[in-house]
Structure 1
């Protein structure tokens, strides 16, 4: 075949197969038999193998899986993937509605959508082409799973317009695919997946994309993370736009003009939930208007303009066989119920949280009791209550021990605490839990070093503190159970990469009492390097806005220990970074920026800057970007189609800039 004819045939096949994919997997209206589709796909694969230069990024051959990966790269989300606050009953929903109306007035509407039980993902498109797909991760940083997401046939590899934007969706495994997958696993003598959500998540985190391609996953796209330059001003318009671009959205959504209609929608799907071909675990309710969403803003964890109604948890009865005690990294002793295995909300449950001794006494729980259990939020099993009428007289009272089951040190109950605590710093259970925390995602984020591997290494005495992780060798790791050559090399690479983390990751990973991820970042930003934090006084810590007396005392106590000084020196010796690498907070008193110390509101559509980009630039210069206009607002940046915020700013006499003035000041 002549070169030009080959090129044209490849283009024709790519376009044709992408159209057939869309008809089958998005519209559910196939126009050709499967056999004809397969024949055309095999022809395209053969032509692209002979002429690899003709294989484009939107070629449907990507959907069959490509090269096996060594590990997943990290991806920073341009817009954070926040979690949603939960509602569990009608009163929670009406409280949410009241807060919304108090903030933005009575003229509101909501969009209700089915809450798909799957894996949240972010899809980034550059000039209309699918560029990067990532997991949610910790909300700020996820894992690059683009090669696996390309195998989902309902994800368009190229959208209709040459837009650059980011969309969010929920990847899931339909029930039919789940049953088929588990049937095959059982026939091969393998452990079946507990539920479709776990199966979907496991499929998308395979390093071999051919495995993901074989799992028949699907997706519903539910939002634009950044409306970019589309001019769209509401969530419902955004979903319609996504439909027009070839995405698969959930058609069961409904626009509601008040909270009563929202509740009617929820009642409908609570009843009809079993009729769906996929799992849902609730309903998501969102304020429709983007301007009102902006005005409502977000907390650190979740948007104020959306809420997730969670279906009532399924409750089942089973027998409590025993109570197991575990020691956390801070020494807290937590009792866990060991149950007769029972199915709850799609998974087999054998353990349930009992929280503390007071709860056991309050619920009058005895060993051998029949208990009612449920999954809190469809996730964590917990004991709801005891069925005393089923007692036979053979049940036994449970008594918490006086000494730590791991190290035999005396347990204490600190003032104002309900939990018993082991205060022995050399308790092996605490050390193990501390190691698990150190390598976790929000701390040093060492891929491949999960709880099971840490437990093996600790049991074999290959690691006794966090510094030992950086002395691990290939020869030590290759002898561990289920650790092959590739896994070992990937793990050693991940350990090496973690040395370059910014200081806040290490601070959080050290597990200092009362110091969470946010406080760790504040400390790292303020002091800049570990040495200065080690030398800081109680007064130095308290002078920082977000640091209170308890945290300051915990920091001073921690860094006074000789063992801690030695540990930090050892970490430095093996090359772990001890400095802050992120942007320094602006010293408002010394800054000459026009934005420093000012409260600024962005409204309307910006032409040259994405909303999030403008926000980051302003904050880097010491400004605070707010979601609502008030008397405390210093400046409003008004783009095209600015709405109620602009009107309110004019009424209050607040300074108003257009985008050109903003860019001029940002570049000055």
Structure 2
């Protein structure tokens, strides 16, 4: 199709990459690394040919995932960028090209761990906070969780660490920890170490998670200490940090030797790695190299060839997702690869099945390197059994029999029947999940049982379940039933953002839900009434996503669901923390355009009641200020409340930043009309 409009393919790839990235950071990836990287490469090539078609929300410029809004936002003093990649097939050429850009410079080579990136900030030697990478600019504070589940995390740096020190690195779940936890909890095993690491940091009760064996280890790979210039990454090992193996060498040949050694040692590691990082060792040289839009110029990630094992493809099953997408999964003779035993693997879509030439009964190669999920890469070399057979691509839904429709260049298969049993069950499980209603005590097994018995058909049915109903089941006593129902009752306060996630609309995941709330939509009904054109006008929402949302809400059964949820008292309105910050029209005060840092306990001047710091910061932003988490040379005001520590005020005085009492700030807020 040489005459096809490239705009359509660009929009399709961009929407898919955004959705896949959000799935990955939510711990529920649907495609393997190879599929994701191939889509990125295709989009990069199309945009090079058609730069005028670059989407406003270009996924190639994105880092990580946007903060969920559930925790205090932390704006990073320096962006936490991703790294440009060198593929396994291009290793030597890519390394030589990188080394030639910086002739004579020593290069640092370290293993690239596959976990969760964290920023750990100390002030005058004491731990101030721990934050996730988030979208690279703003992360979320996870200090309490990190202290609970990373038992070896240093809380003090000791002597010679004055001022602000930021340590960056990767939290991982060791393979030995992962195996021990699953052996102790066969009823609720963890899927893989990477997902387990991310999920552990988000536990509602991290202390209980740690007690149950869900503990992590943090490896430091970067330190920024403007006032402690002798503090190095290697030196962090003497201050209680785990530091990955570091080699500093010169020249491409030496770098390639170190990478080969890292690859050879991979099976002996107690943690997953998905590559090696090569970067300028000198901090000044690294800073001078600068950044691209989403990657530093002074570092590159060299991907390792995926670990590969041979096994037999017993069958190909076709599974129906919550949005109706029908995807193939390989049913395998169990094989140990990439640190875990694999009995099933993704095949992404029907075009991948055809392109990789896999057939049922044949010997195939299974890969799992830094990939969160294993995948079948193709037939194993050598003779194949005589009784292999072609994979049968379904024409009708394997659950309900509805004729499937093909969508996109990948010809992905979709069941359009919202009453499809498999699709309905997956939607119920998705609605109850952490990202949506967050029904903590409601497990997928019980959802499947209640669906099978006709108790659950739509998400609204959750809210009609009684403890008496549940106690009729074996293994569901009074305490368990009460916790089950209380968990459902608490979820009624979910709000617009979580509800949008819970609906499971194709292409519209957490990032889209947050953008719609920030755009000023106040309820599900307002979004349902909007046209595709109205939705596409929202910043960073493209036409494919907008059309998907509009088509979803145009269905009569969806309107019935929304009405039923309302009847049960479920909040489908935007919550205060998800609303856009509106700068007051008359906000001509010293706060307008200022960068502010808040420290100490904030008390309302009229009521004397304590005000949560995020609520106070929101008022400051409504008055036109920009908030930051730590004092720097760019800070305009340090606003102090009660019981202020000495470190931030001392730093403000040193940098000649104005220190303002909260009473003065409340006065400015009153003048701006936002208090």
CA contact (8 A) 1:172 1:200 kept: yes
Mapped partners of 1:553, 1:216: distance in 2 = 41
What residue is the counterpart of 1:112 in the other structure?
Answer: 109
1:568 corresponds to 2:562: yes
1:78 corresponds to 2:78: no
In the TM superposition, what is the alpha-carbon distance from 1:541 to its structure 2 partner?
2.5
Could you report, residue by residue, the CA deviation over 1:187-235 in whole angstroms, capped at 9, with x for unpaired residues? x99999898778888998796958846969673441579x6xx53588x
In the TM superposition, what is the alpha-carbon distance from 1:324 to its structure 2 partner?
0.8
Closer, same or farther in 2 for the Cα pair 1:541/1:281, shift >3 Å?
Answer: closer
TM-score by length of 1: 0.65
1:296 corresponds to 2:285: no
1:533 corresponds to 2:527: yes
Give the secondary structure class of the aligned counterpart of 2:493.
coil
What residue is the counterpart of 2:365 in the other structure?
Answer: 372
Closer, same or farther in 2 for the Cα pair 1:381/1:251, shift >3 Å?
Answer: closer
In the TM superposition, what is the alpha-carbon distance from 1:169 to its structure 2 partner?
5.1
Mapped partners of 1:480, 1:304: distance in 2 = 60
1:581 corresponds to 2:576: yes
CA contact (8 A) 2:153 2:240 kept: yes
Mapped partners of 1:524, 1:362: distance in 2 = 40
Matches within 5 A, 1:90-489: 91=90, 111-116=108-113, 140=140, 145=145, 148-149=148-149, 152=151, 154-160=152-158, 167=167, 170=170, 181=180, 212=210, 219-222=217-220, 230-231=225-226, 237=231, 239=233, 242-243=236-237, 246-250=239-243, 252-255=245-248, 262-274=255-267, 280-285=273-278, 289=283, 292=287, 295-296=290-291, 299=294, 308-375=301-368, 377-387=370-380, 389-414=382-407, 416=409, 418-477=411-470, 488-489=481-482
Closer, same or farther in 2 for the Cα pair 1:257/1:495, shift >3 Å?
Answer: farther
Matches within 5 A, 1:540-619: 540-577=534-571, 578-582=573-577, 584-585=579-580
Mapped partners of 1:622, 1:172: distance in 2 = 39
Closer, same or farther in 2 for the Cα pair 1:460/1:127, shift >3 Å?
Answer: farther
In the TM superposition, what is the alpha-carbon distance from 1:407 to its structure 2 partner?
0.7
CA contact (8 A) 1:585 1:622 kept: no
Closer, same or farther in 2 for the Cα pair 1:638/1:521, shift >3 Å?
Answer: closer
Mapped partners of 1:285, 1:618: distance in 2 = 42
Mapped partners of 1:549, 1:418: distance in 2 = 19
Closer, same or farther in 2 for the Cα pair 1:293/1:281, shift >3 Å?
Answer: farther
Unaligned stretches of 5+ residues in structure 2: 1-68, 600-613, 637-654, 670-675
CA contact (8 A) 2:517 2:580 kept: no
In the TM superposition, what is the alpha-carbon distance from 1:539 to its structure 2 partner?
4.0
Give the secondary structure class of the aligned counterpart of 2:574.
coil
Give the secondary structure class of the aligned counterpart of 1:362.
helix
Could you report, residue by residue, the CA deviation over 1:353-376 in whole angstroms, capped at 9, with x for unpaired residues? 222223333333322111112125
What residue is the counterpart of 1:32 in the other structure?
Answer: none
Moved more, 564-573 or 345-354: 564-573
Q: CA RMSD in A?
A: 5.4
Mapped partners of 2:364, 2:562: distance in 1 = 48
In the TM superposition, what is the alpha-carbon distance from 1:418 to its structure 2 partner?
0.8
CA contact (8 A) 1:440 1:446 kept: yes
Mapped partners of 1:487, 1:256: distance in 2 = 59
Mapped partners of 1:121, 1:493: distance in 2 = 33
Unaligned stretches of 5+ residues in structure 1: 1-72, 626-635, 641-657
Give the secondary structure class of the aligned counterpart of 1:499.
helix
Mapped partners of 1:597, 1:95: distance in 2 = 47
Mapped partners of 1:211, 1:587: distance in 2 = 39
Mapped partners of 1:143, 1:608: distance in 2 = 18
Mapped partners of 1:332, 1:607: distance in 2 = 46
What residue is the counterpart of 1:69 in the other structure?
Answer: none
CA contact (8 A) 2:584 2:622 kept: no
In the TM superposition, what is the alpha-carbon distance from 1:262 to its structure 2 partner?
4.3
Closer, same or farther in 2 for the Cα pair 1:189/1:362, shift >3 Å?
Answer: closer
Matches within 5 A, 1:480-519: 488-519=481-512
CA contact (8 A) 1:339 1:350 kept: yes
Q: How many residues align?
A: 549
Could you report, residue by residue, the CA deviation over 1:323-351 in whole angstroms, capped at 9, with x for unpaired residues? 11111222222111111111112211111
Mapped partners of 1:87, 1:448: distance in 2 = 43
Mapped partners of 1:620, 1:101: distance in 2 = 49
Moved more, 562-571 or 303-312: 303-312
Could you report, residue by residue, the CA deviation over 1:146-166 in whole angstroms, capped at 9, with x for unpaired residues? 57436x3x3335442687877
Closer, same or farther in 2 for the Cα pair 1:373/1:158, shift >3 Å?
Answer: same
In the TM superposition, what is the alpha-carbon distance from 1:566 to its structure 2 partner?
2.5
Could you report, residue by residue, the CA deviation over 1:453-509 in whole angstroms, capped at 9, with x for unpaired residues? 432332232221122223333334456676666655555444344333342221122
Mapped partners of 1:116, 1:616: distance in 2 = 36
CA contact (8 A) 2:633 2:657 kept: no
Closer, same or farther in 2 for the Cα pair 1:111/1:450, shift >3 Å?
Answer: farther
TM-score by length of 2: 0.64
What residue is the counterpart of 1:630 in the other structure?
Answer: none
Give the secondary structure class of the aligned counterpart of 1:390.
coil
Mapped partners of 2:520, 2:259: distance in 1 = 50
Larger gyration radius, structure 1 or structure 2 = 1
Closer, same or farther in 2 for the Cα pair 1:278/1:352, shift >3 Å?
Answer: closer
Give the secondary structure class of the aligned counterpart of 1:582.
helix
In the TM superposition, what is the alpha-carbon distance from 1:269 to its structure 2 partner?
1.8
Could you report, residue by residue, the CA deviation over 1:114-165 in whole angstroms, capped at 9, with x for unpaired residues? 3346666676768866687788899647695357436x3x333544268787
CA contact (8 A) 1:77 1:142 kept: no
Mapped partners of 2:532, 2:353: distance in 1 = 39
Give the secondary structure class of the aligned counterpart of 1:431.
helix
Closer, same or farther in 2 for the Cα pair 1:559/1:172, shift >3 Å?
Answer: closer
Closer, same or farther in 2 for the Cα pair 1:367/1:239, shift >3 Å?
Answer: same
Closer, same or farther in 2 for the Cα pair 1:500/1:437, shift >3 Å?
Answer: same
Moved more, 477-486 or 402-411: 477-486
Moved more, 92-101 or 309-318: 92-101
Mapped partners of 1:208, 1:607: distance in 2 = 28
